[in-house]
Amino acid sequence: MSDPIVPARVYPAGTPLPPAAGAPPQPPLGPDFIPPWRAAAPPPPPAAAPPPAAIEIHHVHTHTVAPADEPEPEPRFNWARLTAWARPRQTTLGLTAAVIPMPHTGHSLATGWSTALNDARNTGSISGAYVLAGAALTIAVLIDRRRHAWWSRTLLAATVIGGTGALGWYDPITLLTGVRPS
C-alpha cells in the first residue's frame, strides 16, 4: 500500500484515451455528442385508436320496502313502571294524611309513631326501637304491595317518616366503636 504509483504513460490534456483491449470502437466525439445515458428516451410509437364501442344504456330501478308500522324506539328508562309503582295520587294523598295533625291532639300519625319509637328507645334498649321500627316498616311494605289503596300508602308514609324517632345521631359511632354517649 505504501508503494508509489508510477504512471506507464502520460497523456497530454485534451487527448482522447485509447480504447481498452477488446472494447468496441467508440464513436467520434464532436461538439454535439451526448452520451447514451444522458440522451432522452425515444418517444413510444403512436398507439392505434381503439375501435368505437357501442353505447349501452342500462336503467336500474330500486324499490325500498319499509314495514308499514315501525315500532317506536325504546326509551332509555321505562317511566311507566315507576309511575305505576309510585301511584302519584295515592302517594300524595297518603303523605298528606300521614303528616296532617289530627284534631284536638296536634299530632299526626307520623309524629305519634316517632314519639312511640323514641319512648321505646329511651325506656328500653336502642336495638329494641330499631327492631320495632323495622318490623313495622316491613309490615307496611307488605300491606302496600297487596292493597293498592290510599290508607295503605298512608300507613307506609307514617312508618317511614315516623321511623326517624328510632334513630339517634350517635348510633353509627356506637355501632362502629362500641363507645356510648355519657
Asked, for residue 46, whether it belongs to a domain, the answer is no
* Mean per-residue pLDDT, 121-133: 86
The pLDDT tens digits of the residues spanning 22-80 come to 777 766 677 777 777 777 777 888 887 777 888 888 888 888 877 777 777 777 787 88
151-167 pLDDT, tens per residue?
Answer: 999 999 999 999 988 88
* 3-class secondary-structure state, position 81: helix
- For the segment 159-181, the average pLDDT, to the nearest whole number, is 85
In a domain, 150, yes or no: yes
Sequence letter at residue 173: I
Q: Is 164 within the bounds of a domain?
A: yes
Count: domains in the chain: 1
- DSSP structure class, residue 22: T
Q: Considering the domain boundaries, does residue 154 fall inside one? A: yes
| Residue 162 within any structural domain of the chain | yes
Residue 171: its pLDDT value, please? 82
pTM tops 0.85, yes or no: no
pLDDT of residue 116 exceeding 80, the answer is: yes
Q: Mean pLDDT of all residues in the chain? A: 84
What range defines the domain where residue 134 resides?
125-182
For residue 161, which of 144, 125, 137, 126 has the smallest C-alpha distance?
A: 137
Distance CA 117, CA 135 (A): 12
The answer to the question of residue 6 being in a domain is no
pLDDT above 90 as % of the chain: 29
